[in-house]
Amino acid sequence: MIATFPTSKKEIVDRIFRAGVVGAGGAGFPTHLKATAKADTVIANGCECEPLIQSDRYVLTVHFEEVLEGLRLMMIATGASRGLVAIREGQQLEALEDAVGKDRSIELIRVPDTYPAGDEHILVYEATGRIVPQGGIPPDVAVVVSNVNTLLNVSRAMSGGSVTKRILSICGDIVKPCLTEAPIGMAINDLLEVTGNRVDLEQKAVLISGVMMGELCDDPTRPIDKRTSAIVILPRDNRVVMAKALPLGTMVRRAASVCCQCRLCTELCPRHLMGHAISPHRIMRAVAWMTDYKDDLAGALLCSGCGLCGIYVCPMGLSPDRISFAVRTRLLERGIRAEPAEAKARPLRASRLVPHERILSRTGVGKYEQELDFVGVQRPAVVRIPLGQHSGKAAVPRVRPGDKVIEGDIIGEPEDPRFGAVVHASVSGVVAAVDDHVTIESR
Ligand code: SF4
Ligand code: SF4
């Protein structure tokens, strides 16, 4: 259903909040907070640079009208006069192009088909020429970026819809790679089973939401959430899986023994190339040799976790990506934040971009690339819905075991709307358990 336009910023923000919309492309930042920013440009991010995944492309093919509606709504909320739909060079989306051509406030732009084209900082630069300051966010340069799945949910929020399902890719080394739509809280192993992709987890590994930035998942009963864009299955002996499976202590010991300080990880780091003060080779040196040199370690706060330096770059097979991200996490836990500073793109940046094809080849997943067909909406017997599936604090449960719920009922709310998002029942049924998840048996 296409939304009717609310006219005030407050009304749009309220409806987004009540619908529980969060960023669908990664960290799950609550979208009602993003909608309160002031900007002159809103970018619909359809770049989807992770190998194999086609969820955003599917949304831009089938639900493009709602995505454009969501983009217009975010433009009204933020006061932006310019809307951009960003896709990668080479992507053919004729219906979207026709629709964009009829709206003078919106443009379709193609950004270089490189990794990580979908990183907000990289996308803002490619689309507008502006550089988000290090330690900053796109609204610092009057830009708001939203994933196309998020904008689909923004559009649906205007007609009273809430985020109860997720469109995702099931792909990799399986017999029936596909696209599907599943209720939030459906278990990964149930999804694999019903799509005809039962896998032997002794032989194969599950990656949540991507090869490069995705997380290795050892619990196949884990539920999907609003941020899950894909379930990727790869052989256990794939080099990415093996690198992600290494314990942190082993990575540090390897770094101490074989990191030759060649600097390649730094020379190709996308955030370093944007002029940010991050140098993964220096982080490796500080961690491996246990120096407490604050400037070296502080650079980790600027790491996006894109994985490029470890999975693609390091000639010694080390993991500067995981070590940098681990340092970042520790610093944030201690309340240490990045020093904001203006940045300037480095002169050699354009010649150091990594083409998508090279990523497919280096990760060994190119052989799994194929067109994914949509196989319909899933209807599981049970869902286990996380109360924390967004950045900020987990929602407080609003239901108890034995309660009857219908799809779309509120089952969790944030104590403070500035630090969380609303959670809804994704199926109709009876609440079976409440802990940090709400389990609902479908009836
Ligand atoms: S690319 Fe690898 S070997 Fe070279 S400095 Fe970085 S971590 Fe060390
Ligand atoms: S993961 Fe590596 S390449 Fe990516 S931003 Fe962090 S340090 Fe740079």
Domains (range + CATH), the chain: 9-158 (3.40.50.11540), 165-238+364-380 (3.10.20), 247-354 (no CATH), 382-443 (2.40.50.100)
Nearest to 20 by CA among 326, 377, 424, 364: 424
Q: Given this model, what pLDDT does residue 4 score?
A: 59
Which residue CA neighbors atom 3 of ligand 2 most closely? 269
**8 Å CB contact between 210 and 308:** no
pLDDT score for 244: 95
Number of the ligand closest to the Cα of 328: 2
From atom 4 of ligand 2, which residue's Cα is the shortest distance away? 306
Taking only the tens place, the pLDDT of each residue in 201-232 is 999 999 999 999 999 999 999 999 999 999 99
Query: Mean pLDDT across the stretch 77-94?
Result: 96
- The band of 123, judged by pLDDT with boundaries at 50, 70 and 90, is very high
Closest atom of ligand 1 to 260 CA is 3
- Using the mean position of ligand 1's atoms as its centre, give its distance from the Cα of residue 364 in Å: 21
Residue 308 Cβ inside 6 Å of ligand 2? The answer reads yes
Measured from the alpha carbon of residue 279, the closest ligand is 2
Which residue puts its alpha carbon closest to atom 2 of ligand 1? 314
Residue 280, preceding bond cis, omega within 30 degrees? no
Contact residues for 229 (Cβ-Cβ < 8 A; gap 6+) = 24, 25, 50, 53, 55, 56, 149, 166, 168, 169, 209, 210
Ligand nearest to the CA of 262: 1
pLDDT single digits (tens) 265-299: 999 999 999 999 999 999 999 998 877 677 788 89
pLDDT classification of 159: cutoffs 50, 70, 90: very high
Is the model more confident about 21 or about 296?
21
Which residues is 144 bridged to in the sheet? 42
- Ligand 2 pocket check for 306: Cβ under 6 Å: yes
Q: Which ligand is nearest to the CA of 264?
A: 1
Cβ of residue 305 lying under 6 Å from some atom of ligand 2: yes
Taking CA atoms only, the protein residue closest to ligand 2 atom 6 is 303
Task: Check pLDDT > 90 for residue 125.
Answer: yes
321 in Cβ contact with 311 (< 8 Å): yes
Distance, CA 321 to ligand 2 centroid (Å)?
A: 5
For residue 284, the ligand closest to its alpha carbon is: 1
Q: In a mutational test of the pocket of ligand 1, which residue from 281, 319, 322 has the highest number of ligand atoms less than 8 Å from its CB?
A: 281
- Protein residues with CB under 6 Å of any ligand 1 atom: 259-265, 280-281, 284, 313-314, 316, 318, 320
Q: Which pLDDT does position 70 carry in this prediction?
A: 97
Residue 419 confidence (pLDDT): 87
Q: What pLDDT does 51 receive? A: 97
Going from the C-alpha of 120 to that of each of 9, 146, 419, 429, the distances in angstroms are 23, 9, 21, 39
Tokens in use for 254? 């390897």
> What atom of ligand 1 comes closest to residue 264's alpha carbon?
1
Query: Closest residue (by CA) to atom 4 of ligand 1?
Result: 262
Please tell me if the CB atom of residue 303 comes closer than 6 angstroms to any atom of ligand 2: yes
The pLDDT score that the predictor gives to residue 1 is 47
Q: Is the CB of 309 under 6 A from ligand 2?
A: yes
CB 63 less than 6 A from any atom of ligand 2: no
pLDDT value for 5? 66
